[in-house]
Amino acid sequence: MIDTYVRQLKSNDAGRRREAIIALGKSNDPAALPPLAEVYKNDPEPALRDLALKAGRYLRQHTQQEPPVAQEIAAAAPSSASSRLKEELASYEAEDASGSSSIPLQRRRVVPQEDIDRSKSYVDEALSHNMNGDNARALKALRKALELNPDIKDDGFFVSVAGAVTGDTGQAAINFILDQKQAKEFVKESKRQQKSVQTAMHLETAEKSRWSGVTLELAMFVLINVLGTLIMFFVFTESISSLSADSDMISGRQASELRSMVATFSLVTGLIVGLISAVGSAVNLFLQGVAIHFVATTLFGGKGTIRFMLDKLFGLYNKRLPLLYALIIASVWVTFGAGSPIFSALIGFVTSLIGLQILFKASSLTSQAYNFSTGSGCLTNILAFGFLGLISMVIGYLLTNVFLGSFLSSMGNLPLS
């Protein structure tokens, strides 16, 4: 009767060996004791060796025999009551009969020390996420900890963290973590709440921006552009004057023409040019900010204020413009004053890189201002530029038609000779 189960003890499948051990323990056949002793000595699975020990005790007590192998098994650990052993075997048998449990990770197994350490690190990670308000990631970390080491559910620290994350206590918190459906719903709800909190905090920050701050940044923008243009104007005129005085580089006629051109330059002229350039740049950047706000809130559902966007946008340019003007002025001086086009080209290349960096930084600022991804910020800026370009084309088309119509009308009113 027991031969089939004895052969099954040699199976490579730990589950089948487990079934055989339980069956031999309940067989009431003393001949099953030697095979159980062999399993206790040699089986690679510690859990199965422990099960064989308990099965041997149960069988020995029910057969009232004390063969050497049974004594060997009994010597490994103190014997316990028959009823207790029967309950233990019954619990193992019930576990096998239940098949797949509704809660995963319940099957006993030997956990390597490496997995034990990793599971503890996941619990620490879960606590960090919980303290940061990210319970979705905290729950995922706890599930990973249980997958690596199911026995960690008995650890007090794990239970405490699980309760903080789920809001339940004890076994209820563990069952909640292991229930895949509940866990998914919890993660979704946690992410929704986290996003809601982030949006509220973002709007609170955005609301702190005031038009007075925007006005100050705009004034700084205009001032930097005026001063930059004036200095560039001065360096340009001085470089041209030096070039016109160098008879080795240009002819007398060219020098005379350059001196005549420089004579028309003045501080007032430079100031007017700088002011017009600065105001034009400020208006252009302001409209760019308005277009970005429109695209971000209308097409991408961004949450933010136009004041916050303009404040950040003008602030970005105010930090970069002095360096850009310094490079442009150096390029002018190197080209016309020192006569070195190679260095001028190098400076121009660096200037272009800084210009690209400003564009990428503007995309990042857009994502921060409206609380969405950097990719959405980049796409928002591209669409905003396209939107402004389209408006410029329409305005240019309308103005062209108006002036052309007026011109043709005036030509039609001229008397024919």
Condensed to tens digits (0 to 9), the pLDDT of residues 132-153 reads 778 888 888 898 898 888 888 8
The domain of 328 spans 209-409
Within a domain: residue 405? yes
Same domain? 187 vs 235: no
Identity of the highest mean pLDDT range in 22-31, 84-93, 194-203: 22-31
Residue that finishes a domain, picked among 159, 177, 201: 201
- CA gap 14, 18 in Å, rounded: 6
Burial call 201-213: b when 16+ CB within 10 Å, e when fewer = ebeeebeebeeeb
pLDDT on residue 79:
45
Burial, 126: exposed, middle or buried (Cβ in 10 Å; 0-12, 13-18, 19+)? buried
Q: Predicted confidence band at 67 (pLDDT cuts at 50, 70, 90)?
A: very low
CA distances from 158 to 122, 126, 133, 153, 162 (A): 10, 9, 18, 6, 6
Q: Predicted confidence band at 223 (pLDDT cuts at 50, 70, 90)?
A: very high
What pTM did the predictor assign?
0.49
Within a domain: residue 102? no
Same domain? 89 vs 62: yes
Burial, 132: exposed, middle or buried (Cβ in 10 Å; 0-12, 13-18, 19+)? exposed
If one counts the domains in the chain, the total is 3
Average pLDDT over residues 201-216: 82
- CA gap 95, 134 in Å, rounded: 36
pLDDT above 70 (res 384)? yes
pLDDT on residue 51:
80
pLDDT on residue 73:
47
| Nearest residue to 55 via CA among 78, 82, 95 | 82
Task: Give the number of other CB atoms < 10 A from CB of residue 193.
Answer: 13
Same domain? 163 vs 296: no
Q: In angstroms, how far apart are the furthest CA atoms of the chain? A: 142
CA distances from 361 to 17, 293, 296, 374, 390 (A): 64, 16, 16, 10, 24
Q: Predicted confidence band at 98 (pLDDT cuts at 50, 70, 90)?
A: very low
- CA gap 150, 76 in Å, rounded: 27
Residue scoring higher pLDDT (415 or 226)? 226
Condensed to tens digits (0 to 9), the pLDDT of residues 6-32 reads 888 888 888 788 888 888 877 888 788
Same domain? 234 vs 366: yes
Burial call 227-257: b when 16+ CB within 10 Å, e when fewer = ebbbbbbebbbebbbbbbeeeeeeeeeebee
Residue scoring higher pLDDT (276 or 33)? 276
Residue that finishes a domain, picked among 167, 183, 201: 201
Q: Predicted confidence band at 77 (pLDDT cuts at 50, 70, 90)?
A: very low
- CA gap 369, 206 in Å, rounded: 7
Within a domain: residue 104? no
Written as six digits, the tokens of 129 are 């996420």
Same domain? 228 vs 300: yes
Residue that finishes a domain, picked among 44, 62, 97: 97
Contact, 169 vs 163, CB < 8 A?
yes
User: What letter represents residue 45's amino acid?
Assistant: E
Q: Predicted confidence band at 250 (pLDDT cuts at 50, 70, 90)?
A: low
Within a domain: residue 106? no
Same domain? 261 vs 393: yes
Q: Predicted confidence band at 220 (pLDDT cuts at 50, 70, 90)?
A: very high
Same domain? 53 vs 130: no
Written as six digits, the tokens of 324 are 């850009």
